[in-house]
Structure 1
Amino acid sequence: IFAVVTLALLISWVMAVGAVPFIGSYLLKAHPRTTRKTIAAGQADTPGSLQPEAGAKDRPDTSRAATVADVTGQPAAPDRITVMDVAASPATPADPEHDLFDTPFYRRLRATIEGAMRHRWLTLLVTLVLLVAGIFGMGLTTKQFFPDSNRAEFLVDLWLPEGASLAATRREAEKLEKWLAADPDAETFVAYIGNGSPRYFLSLDKQLYRTNYAQFVVLTKDLEARQRLLGRLRPALDSQFPGVRTRAYPNPLGPPVAFPVQFRVSGPDIAELKRLGADLLDLVNANPYTYGAHMNWGERAPTLKVDVDQDRARAVGLSSGQISRALGAIIDGTPIGTLHEDDQLIPVVIRAPEAERTQLSTLGSLQLPTARGGTVPLSQVARLQMEMDEPIIWRRSRVPTLTVNAEVLAGMQGRDVMAQIEKHMKPLRARLPAGYHIDAGGPVEGSDDAQASINAGMPLMVGLVLTLLMLQLRSFSLVAMVVLTAPLGIVGIVAALLVSGMPFGFVAMLGTIALAGIIMRNTVILVEQIRQDIEAGHSRWHAVREATVRRFRPITLTAAAAILAMIPLSRDVLWGPMAVAIMGGLVVATALTLLMVPALYVT
């Protein structure tokens, strides 16, 4: 987005200083300005020439041709005649600019600006109070990293207990297929058994291969149908799929975030880690705005332990690697070729029948080939036993890490719920053993990472902005005045977000940064005009007041153009908060700039 905005601004600048004046010279034709002056009859010697009065100073030059006539086409009145100067120069006493800014509206505007200048300390105090209120009001806005998408499809996850087979997972998936096929809002759907959907959507959280996992992609007609179907499906999943952890959710926008609430516990010992994870899970479940809380490690699953007797194995010429490969060929299978079917390549895998690879006694009689050409039963070189163990140990930075995940109720934001849980986590953090720590994940971590990436480039951006302002204004005081107006948009941003109910997220933060640049641009236009008027010989008071009056229309028109351009985006689920923030901030900041800058300039 930064590259696109930069390129667009550069192109628009080239058009503004190059093509627009060229086109304007053809579209806006200049016509000779006509001025009229009425003088008493008898003061002109001839109809074709006029003599100035003795001592008159501000009269048109008598060397110019003039005609005397009544503009109505009737003979001129005997006591007065009308003089039309058909080639009046721009320096004539008739000042169209003065007439333009002498309307009732501009007179009221001039009085308002002068009132702000006369009561400058009150103006600055009110501006400061509004700014402080906006800063504190930011805490009242809803915080959100990225919203859910408004696409017509959604996802359904099915998690069976750890160790469940693909056949058991398929049976549960078939039950859900029948339910979806009978629902009128489900236009089409596809199921993935043992794996997640391919990344058809950039922010999709891709799942690893698991025999106890299935994922559905359900397509509906439109957004309303999606919401209706989700409203019926979630209760059905809870009631018709006992023993299965289910989740139905729309595609998220932004970086992949698995759950709106995530807390991670890291430490060296697995048993202690699970104990701390259970305590953390109780805290998450205690929050009234969460549901479906669980740990990503799941339940312990039965595991086959093979304890190789190294002395016996070496005596017959076997190694641990050979024994492992033989067991893998029996249980998992060995690829022996590839089957070509149309444009697909299907691997051919051979393995033992299910009855032989699922019974402990059968595996003990597995014949292993030895280096001497004979075979030996597996039970003679290894001891086989079933144990309950962790099926997967997740690590982060090579440290075992357990994650507690949870969903939030509709209308709540994960960041706000995590902040509520964090307040009750101090006792748990206080009793953490040495080497253990709890970190926030999910949208909080994603938002912090995004903020850190922006903060990394902030010093360079601020330096470039200050350099450009100094090159243009050549005054530290004027640069400071321009920079002081940059945060004025916060007042309007907070008001607009609170009124609209939209959250303050990542894209709204980008809009806030862009808004600061727009506000400073308007201030530069005003300050530069004031400085030019002062250099032209006007008093400071007069220059500040009149420059603000004259710059009022270009500043408000550009602000109005930017506001109107945001209207199409204001209904979008992703860009809506940014559009509303820019619209509200620009309205308030423009008004404050036109009042605060004159008051600050004369202070």
Structure 2
Amino acid sequence: AFGSQTIDITVKAPSEETLTAVTAAIATAVTETKSADSVTTSLDDTQSYISISIKRKEAARYALSEVLIGRTLTGLIAPTAIGQVVIDDVTMDLIVETKNSPDTLGELRKFKLTTPLGGTVLLSKVATIGITETAASRTTERGVLSASVAVTPTSDNLSESTAAVNAALASVTLPSGTTATVGGVSQDQVESFQQLGLALLAAILIVYVVMVATFRSLRQPLLLLVSIPFAATGAIALQIISGIPLGISSLIGLLMLVGIVVTNAIVLIDLVNQYRERGGSVIESLLDGTSRRVRPVLMTALATVFALTPLATGVTGSGGFISQPLAIVVIGGLLSSTILTLLVLPALYSLVEGRKERKATRRALKA
């Protein structure tokens, strides 16, 4: 399971207006794809605030500046300490409060400012006052404003949902300096695929090293590793037939198959080598070894397949989203690798080892 259950889109923009517009456009585009149960943004939660925009020309007529008006309003609405006083060894803040400070928007508009010229002027005459809505919270990344769009997919097929989100993202024209990147559960899956891919390569390498030490040959272990592509063929084919999307559980199943399918090949080739050490030819050893190993190899594979059938059919309940893809991959890989191991591997062994035997026979005849 991933830490996040949503596909997240991170939007970065140089201004708040651009950020709001692009985030809304992306959310609308994703919603129209009908591939999401819900689409939410970090800008959905809003809060209201009083907006005061100074009319610079009008304020200049009364010798007022934005700084002076701002300082006056700050002391009016949120008075701060102008000093401290000590009474009976107790230090107290000294705060000057304005009598009859405005409590409503109408009273604020009627508030009279004292000008440097000694007169008064209504605040509404030198400023535009209103209530504006903005995002309840803002985030920045390295000084750039950012917002996020969270998409909850309708389907369990994360690859399909991610493709739909990317298509919706591509349909939105981004202004200059604005970026949008996909993350969340989609990014988690990509990273998990990369890690399991490396683990799969490491497992194949370890298996090869062990077989080289066992068979004391560099060539025969390569023949045995052919069973891995055989297993991958069946695993992918059965997954496509079943309609189960490729996921982390599927890759874990492939990782398990590396050890399972190679075991059958080792059992077969090891017996063939024993017959050859006793003086048998390659063809005779293959025929005898295959005929003796076909039954135990089939029984082992079928036993594993039958044991995993309940998981593959999804009768395990709520845990099926993890166990079902894994079981399907292992069953498909076992079926294909078992059949191909018993048919193709002996042919490859005969081709490689038989060539060595024929060369040795020709040398003996020439001698």
**What TM-score comes out, normalization by structure 1 length?**
0.44
The aligned counterpart of 1:544 is 286
Deviations 1:108-150 (A, max 9, x none): xxxxxxxxxxxxxxxxxxxxxxxxxxxxxxxxxxxxxxxxxxx
Select which of 17, 26, 36 maps to 1:290: 36
Q: Residues of 1 paired with 2:68 and 2:225: CA distance?
A: 77
**What TM-score comes out, normalization by structure 2 length?**
0.69
Q: Does residue 257 of the first structure (1) align with residue 4 of the second (2)?
A: yes
User: What does residue range 190-589 of structure 1 map to in structure 2 within 5 Å?
Assistant: 254-259=1-6, 261-303=7-49, 364=77, 368=81, 370-372=83-85, 374-377=94-97, 387-395=132-140, 399-409=144-154, 411=155, 413-423=157-167, 425-426=169-170, 428=172, 431-434=174-177, 436-570=178-312, 571=314, 572=316, 573=320, 574-589=322-337
Return the offset for 1:481.
0.8
Aligned residues of 1:364 and 1:377 also touching (Cα < 8 A): no
Aligned residues of 1:415 and 1:443 also touching (Cα < 8 A): no
Q: Could you say what secondary structure the match of 1:475 adopts?
A: coil
The RMSD of aligned alpha carbons is: 3.6
Return the offset for 1:599.
1.2
- Where is the helix percentage greater, Structure 1 or Structure 2? 2
The aligned counterpart of 1:21 is none
Q: Could you say what secondary structure the match of 1:575 adopts?
A: helix
Aligned residues of 2:203 and 2:255 also touching (Cα < 8 A): no
Q: For residues 292 and 468 of structure 1, do their structure 2 counterparts lie closer, same or farther at Cα, with a shift above 3 Å needed? A: same
Q: Could you say what secondary structure the match of 1:602 adopts?
A: helix
Q: Residues of 2 paired with 1:589 and 1:566: CA distance?
A: 16
Q: Residues of 2 paired with 1:445 and 1:551: CA distance?
A: 45
Q: Residues of 2 paired with 1:561 and 1:479: CA distance?
A: 26
Q: Residues of 1 paired with 2:23 and 2:227: CA distance?
A: 49
Q: For residues 522 and 412 of structure 1, do their structure 2 counterparts lie closer, same or farther at Cα, with a shift above 3 Å needed? A: closer
Percent identical: 20
Q: Residues of 2 paired with 1:289 and 1:529: CA distance?
A: 54
Return the offset for 1:493.
1.8
Q: Residues of 2 paired with 1:458 and 1:583: CA distance?
A: 18
How many residues are matched?
298
- What amino acid is the match of 1:419? A
Q: Highest relative contact order (Cα 8 Å, sep 6+), 1 or 2?
A: 2
Q: For residues 387 and 556 of structure 1, do their structure 2 counterparts lie closer, same or farther at Cα, with a shift above 3 Å needed? A: same
Q: For residues 258 and 541 of structure 1, do their structure 2 counterparts lie closer, same or farther at Cα, with a shift above 3 Å needed? A: closer
Q: Residues of 2 paired with 1:311 and 1:265: CA distance?
A: 33
Q: Could you say what secondary structure the match of 2:49 adopts?
A: strand
Q: Could you say what secondary structure the match of 1:301 adopts?
A: strand
Q: For residues 396 and 456 of structure 1, do their structure 2 counterparts lie closer, same or farther at Cα, with a shift above 3 Å needed? A: farther
Aligned residues of 1:265 and 1:402 also touching (Cα < 8 A): yes
Q: Could you say what secondary structure the match of 1:377 adopts?
A: coil
Return the offset for 1:288.
3.2
Q: Which moved more, 1:486-495 or 1:288-297?
A: 288-297
Aligned residues of 2:250 and 2:326 also touching (Cα < 8 A): yes
